[in-house]
A and B are shown apart, each in its own frame.
Chain A
Amino acid sequence: GAVVSQHPSRVICKSGTSVKIECRSLDFQATTMFWYRQFPKQSLMLMATSNEGSKATYEQGVEKDKFLINHASLTLSTLTVTSAHPEDSSFYICSARGQGAFLFNEKLFFGSGTQLSVL
């Protein structure tokens, strides 16, 4: 099956620093990538949707200047948490939707997630 690689898997940083998370589709072209955040014992919350070559669409309440998303190619999207604070500590997960057959288009392939801890 399709593979989405997400790095790093875990990061601990000091308050005020910036953290970049990478999400790569390894064997398919991801026309759309989604970024989710998940707090403990809560569901996935969609943060933003990014299409290759265009600006990301952010969900209401998500600060676009704080969570910078770049989707410069069909295989790579990055999420940068700028000036991270303890309340940004969460599990961040990317997912990708490919192009091609109808069924392939529908499914989401998830990265393994990044646990961010801001001290």
Chain B
Amino acid sequence: QKEVEQNSGPLSVPEGAIASLNCTYSDRVSQSFFWYRQYSGKSPELIMSIYSNGDKEDGRFTAQLNKASQYVSLLIRDSQPSDSATYLCAVNGPDDMRFGAGTRLTVKP
């Protein structure tokens, strides 16, 4: 049984700060990793995908992957109140995609 672990939060940061979200996974076969953002009552939307070790940057978002440690993270720079949402870590296996429980982020003005 694959497991994807996230701190449920809530994580609260002031506007303009860096928000750091972490995720660990247990299935060594996993090759693809994703971060989704979900607003209350809405479907998840894809923010970042990462496939190889290291950092991947896209605007204010940076995903980091360490396959040896089975660890993936998301950094949000210059956090904005509109970033307040639940962030889901997702790990892709050969048959399905598993999600973490999500971390609730609140960015305070």
Contact = CB atoms under 8 A, between A and B. Distances in A.
Q: Do A and B belong to a common assembly? A: yes
A-B residue pairs, 10 tightest by C-beta? A43-B101, A110-B43, A106-B32, A44-B99, A113-B43, A43-B102, A112-B43, A43-B99, A93-B43, A49-B96
Interface stretch (B14-22, B44-52, B57-65, B73-81): B44-52
Contacts of B44: 44, 93, 110
A106 B101 contact: no
Contacts of A95: 97
Interface of A: 34, 36, 42-44, 46, 49, 91, 93, 95, 103, 106-108, 110-113, 115
Given A43-B88, A110-B45, A49 B95 contact: yes
Contact of A46 (B41, B88, B98, B100): B98
Given A110-B44, A113-B43, A43 B96 contact: no
A12 to B, nearest CB: 15
B46 A44 contact: no
B49 A106 contact: yes
A46 B93 CA distance: 13
Contacts of A112: 42-43
